[in-house]
Amino acid sequence: MPDALPVTPQPGQTEGEPLFATAAAGTPKTINEDMGESVTIAPGSIELAPAERAIRLIGGELTEKSLRLHLEGLARVDAVGLEARAASLGTRSIKTTSKAWALDKIIALIDLTTLEGADTPGKVRSLVAKAITPDAGDPGTPRVAAVCVYGDMVGYAVDALGSLHGDPDAGGISVAAVATAFPSGRASLAVKLADTADAVAAGADEIDMVIDRGAYLSGRYGVVFDQIVAVKEACRRADGTYAHLKVILETGELTTYDNVRRASWLAILAGADFIKTSTGKVAPAATLPVTLLMLEVVRDWHALTGEMIGVKPAGGIRTSKDAIKYLVTVAETVGEEWLTPHLFRFGASSLLNDVLLQRQKLSTGRYSGADYVTMD
């Protein structure tokens, strides 16, 4: 691995400073000192699952120690600089013609979601009907990218979509399923893998898994890494293809920007197709600074490897105005090429209605009442 990776410096990172710091071989590493804990990992720590990306980047024998040296060597996040840039991006205004494009783009990037204990087959069918026809009064309204449901609801969603079940970049609608004991992630690995495999067998195109935040925050990076690798393999279909894997970090529980950056890199190294902010069940959920930070990670990964990783902010994005801020942040950070369903999504339940009302306002010149859209 080179001494310095060819990536854009982060706020507070000097030009030419390695993104990953190096450490002497065989030196014990003490971690999490900033969290009031100390966990020392001795040389010769346990071998990890052979994830292709991590082996390619880290090289040699992939162990808990080598993974830790890389993650703990990441440049620290300049929180002041990050929040200032997010605030600046959030003040950008767009013209009316651009707003019409932005509203349609937001709809096309939504994972329309229902994740409640009271979900029923009928509710899922209603969700799918709205995904297919968001605005019955305007047949030109784009369809959403996907519907996101619990694993036991996947079959109902697939059946309701019928011939429209497919790739959103080709005009279809995908089915995403949350898995791995969502939202807490508190279950054995065997349960998590069965949860994932069942959803894929039922027809899920995408799996939204949650990481074990307890393991991560206690410094057991190898446990989190190995679980992501195993879940990725559980996404494998009988024909050898894979359901896309979105890895939910639950950033509201990671407490620091440094933890978010490390967890983002860990998830990508383990095989994530997307990194996702939140379950929507923990406050704070998605925020603009955290999403900006995750976009910077995928930007740097792309600069390093040429591989494009998706980002999904989820939870708390309820208005068109807020969603447009995210579109601007994506375009300014990784480029407009990321504004496709395969690289960026909004995880949302109430956002769609606000976008539809704003879209009607642009068309008619007046605001419609909430009863002009279906209530979820």
Distance CA 194, CA 350 (A): 31
Closest CA to 147 of 135, 157, 134, 162: 157
Q: Look up residue 114 and give its two tokens.
A: 């229902």
Give the chain's end-to-end CA distance (angstroms, integer): 50
Positions annotated as catalytic residues are 208, 276, 312
Q: Look up residue 291 and give its two tokens.
A: 């999403």
Residues 175/205, Cβ–Cβ less than 8 Å: yes
